[in-house]
Structure 1
């Protein structure tokens, strides 16, 4: 079974997705399961609004939609009652909540992840067996490494490979920083969102050196594929990106295609059962 580890459904007629105001016009509309008729792949839904109500909205979709295996939600991790909020969301999800994703890339303070006020929330994620999805770019990787060394056993997944600037062919600083993050125990990375970083038109060949470095840094067993649909649709179809990622995996980690396209996501996010996220050894 192929698992898309990073898919969005959203409805700006019901909730406020502030970032959509600066997004391409084609994305400024509802994208719901009925619009996703090109695949039978299972998926993990990921939050797209800094609002706990959106997490509840995703729970409802998951309950009604075959193939949705779990939800990465949002909670105000700096709230004085953050631990209670995380526990409440986990209870409301009834097993659907698999992780939490603060929208770090949109927070003006690039050192936000290092704030001591977040300590209890990160410990709470670990204690509830929830994954921390890190929506970061190169500006945040130092603070991310610092944060993760404080919470042994917290499983973290870096979204979109920390968004390297592929369009401008910026490589060295990102490559060094992401390799350091890969050395932290229990950190994985999503092979997702890369085609939309190549500029327009999409250039699959530009992704190759970045993918090669990711496979070298994390190994095939700590990477998982995600579509980043519908953001992907501004540059390519779902199937086109999947074929591209499959080609890259066969080239750089030929023994790990099953892991990249489902097994790792199922294990890390506990998508096949009720066990909490499992810490992973090695670098």
Structure 2
């Protein structure tokens, strides 16, 4: 089964997408299942994982409603307030929904790079372990060391590194590449985390090429192996640099050297196993 392990739906009128630029011609409009489905069919993708885009439990409920009405949305990654221990009750309640698979705090947007190490948020990591839920790790290369600390502190927590930890490909800097690559290698070697092969084009220049992406993709596969890599579109955010079909075609080209078995893992099997789809 071909699975898109990372996509979004939203409606700006909800009012809880604080990161979204106002009047952005790509992002600042509603995105719903009817628009994505034809693109999935064209790509041969049969199911998706719908991921949060707002730091509210209300948006998680909104996504679960979409998932209930959309058979091909196989799982939902939502949000709870890690700074509010009372949200343990929300997490327990949400975990009863068969399509609720885990949570993603929006760490990339937080001013404190050490937020995840704070004592007052540790209850949430422990709860994810206790409830068998997943943690989507969203950040930038500067967060790699702190993520490594958290992953080693909670070795039973099921973790996926979103978007290859967003290497800044557009910088074309060897020093930046090495910093990112070393951090990703440590996570691969010292933890059981998996990684999402997604969103790389949005970290590249507007005129990106497959060859711009290749060193980063090759490193991820060398470090993690196909059995720990899952492809995601990051649609509609990917539209900042290309349409769904553009990124899908690039991903297929970048994985052309893999065996059929490994490609089946990257484009479906890893996501199915990790999220329990």
**Same fold by TM-score greater than 0.5:** yes
Which residue does 2:167 correspond to in 1?
Answer: 164
Distance 2:85 2:198 in 1: 33
Which residue does 2:51 correspond to in 1?
Answer: 46
1:174 is the counterpart of 2:180:
yes
Distance 2:179 2:138 in 1: 18
Q: Check whether the contact 2:21–2:27 (CA below 8 A) recurs between aligned residues.
A: no
Which residue does 2:14 correspond to in 1?
Answer: 14
1:205 is the counterpart of 2:242:
no
Q: Secondary structure at the match of 1:156?
A: strand
**Shift in CA distance, 243/186, structure 1 to aligned 2, threshold 3 Å:** same
1:1-283 aligned within 5 A: 1-21=1-21, 24-36=24-36, 37-40=38-41, 41=45, 42-91=47-96, 94-170=97-173, 171-251=177-257, 255-271=261-277
**Shift in CA distance, 195/109, structure 1 to aligned 2, threshold 3 Å:** same
Distance 1:23 1:81 in 2: 36
Q: Check whether the contact 1:134–1:156 (CA below 8 A) recurs between aligned residues.
A: yes
Distance 1:48 1:76 in 2: 14
Distance 2:273 2:70 in 1: 21
- Normalising by structure 2, we get a TM-score of 0.93
Q: Secondary structure at the match of 1:44?
A: strand
Distance 2:17 2:23 in 1: 10
Q: Check whether the contact 1:160–1:191 (CA below 8 A) recurs between aligned residues.
A: yes
- Normalising by structure 1, we get a TM-score of 0.91
Shift of residue 233 of structure 1? 1.2
Q: Check whether the contact 2:60–2:78 (CA below 8 A) recurs between aligned residues.
A: yes
Q: Check whether the contact 1:219–1:253 (CA below 8 A) recurs between aligned residues.
A: no
The unaligned stretches of length 5 or more in structure 1 are 272-283
Q: Check whether the contact 1:195–1:207 (CA below 8 A) recurs between aligned residues.
A: yes
Q: Secondary structure at the match of 2:223?
A: helix
Shift of residue 90 of structure 1? 1.6
Q: Secondary structure at the match of 2:31?
A: coil
Q: How many residues align?
A: 269
Distance 2:188 2:54 in 1: 27
Distance 1:25 1:51 in 2: 24
Shift of residue 246 of structure 1? 1.6
The unaligned stretches of length 5 or more in structure 2 are none
> Relative to total residues, which structure has the larger helix share, 1 or 2?
2
